[in-house]
C-alpha cells in the first residue's frame, strides 16, 4: 500500500482475504489501516471500512524480494507522513505523490506541500534514468516526462 488514505484502502480487508496476501505498508502509515473512525468519517464512505492490521511494515530503502521481482521503497512524505513510492524494475507505483504533470493534494491530515515537493525532487535526483510512473489517480506518466515538465515550470514560471 503506497499510503493509508481511504480511497486506497477501503476494500483492503476483502482483498487481503480473497487473495490471501500480506498487507505491506510503511511503519508510519500503518496505524491508518486500523483506524476505522478516521476512514469512516469520510462522506463518500457508503460501506463501513473494516480495520486491517498490516503484516509487514516497511521503511525507506527496504527491499522485498518475491521470486524474480525485487520491490524497493522510497519514502515520499507530503501527501501523508508515511507515503511510499514502490519501485519494481523500471516502474514506480507512486500513490498520490506524483501524478501526470502534477502532484497529489496536501490538504488532508498528514499533508505538507513543501515536504511533498521535496520528496518529488528527491525522487527525481536519486533515481537515474527513466521510469514508468503509475500513480494512484489519472494516467501513467514517466520520470523523464515529469522532470521536463518541472524544468519547464521553473524556466517559464507557469
Give the DSSP letter string of 99-149: ETTEE----STT--HHHHHHHHHHHHHHS-S--EEEESSS--EEHHHHHHH
Domains of the chain: 6-156 (3.60.15.10)
Of the chain, the percentage scoring pLDDT greater than 90 comes to: 71
Cell digits of residue 124 = 527525481
Place of cell 490471501: 20
Task: Name which residue leads in pLDDT, 147 or 153.
Answer: 147
pLDDT in tens, 51-86: 899 999 999 999 999 899 999 999 999 999 999 999
157 falls in which pLDDT band (50, 70, 90)? very low
Distance (Å, rounded) from C-alpha 89 to C-alpha 144? 16
pLDDT at 158: 40
Place of cell 480511497: 7
35 falls in which pLDDT band (50, 70, 90)? confident
- Average pLDDT of span 141-147: 96
Question: Mean pLDDT of all residues in the chain?
Answer: 89
CA-based nearest residue to 28, from 84, 72, 74: 84
Q: Answer whether residue 155 shows pLDDT above 50.
A: no
Q: Answer whether residue 91 shows pLDDT above 70.
A: yes
Place of cell 473494516: 50
Characterize 62-97 residue by residue with b for buried, 16 or more Cβ atoms within 10 angstroms of its Cβ, and e for exposed.
beeeeeeeebbbbbbbbbbbbbbbbbeeeebbbbbb
pTM: 0.88
Distance (Å, rounded) from C-alpha 65 to C-alpha 101? 31
pLDDT at 40: 63
Task: Name which residue leads in pLDDT, 131 or 108.
Answer: 131
CA-based nearest residue to 62, from 53, 49, 51, 71: 71
Per the CB < 8 A criterion, the answer to whether 98 and 87 are in contact is no
Q: Answer whether residue 21 shows pLDDT above 90.
A: yes
Amino acid at each position: 500500500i503506497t499510503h493509508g488514505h481511504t480511497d486506497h484502502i477501503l476494500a483492503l480487508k476483502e482483498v487481503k482475504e480473497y487473495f490471501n496476501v500480506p498487507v505491506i505498508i510503511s511503519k508510519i502509515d500503518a496505524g491508518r489501516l486500523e483506524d476505522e473512525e478516521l476512514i469512516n468519517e469520510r462522506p463518500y464512505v457508503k460501506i463501513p471500512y473494516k480495520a486491517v492490521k498490516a503484516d509487514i511494515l516497511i521503511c525507506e530503502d527496504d527491499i522485498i524480494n518475491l521470486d524474480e521481482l525485487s520491490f524497493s521503497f522510497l519514502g515520499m512524505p507530503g501527501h501523508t507522513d508515511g507515503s511510499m513510492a514502490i519501485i519494481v524494475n523500471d516502474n514506480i507505483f507512486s500513490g498520490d505523490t506524483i501524478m501526470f504533470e502534477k502532484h497529489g493534494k496536501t490538504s488532508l491530515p498528514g499533508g505538507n506541500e513543501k515536504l511533498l515537493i521535496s520528496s518529488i525532487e528527491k525522487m527525481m535526483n536519486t533515481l537515474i534514468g527513466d521510469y514508468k510512473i503509475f500513480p494512484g489517480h489519472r494516467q501513467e506518466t514517466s520520470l523523464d516526462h515529469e522532470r521536463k515538465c518541472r524544468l519547464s515550470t521553473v524556466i517559464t514560471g507557469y
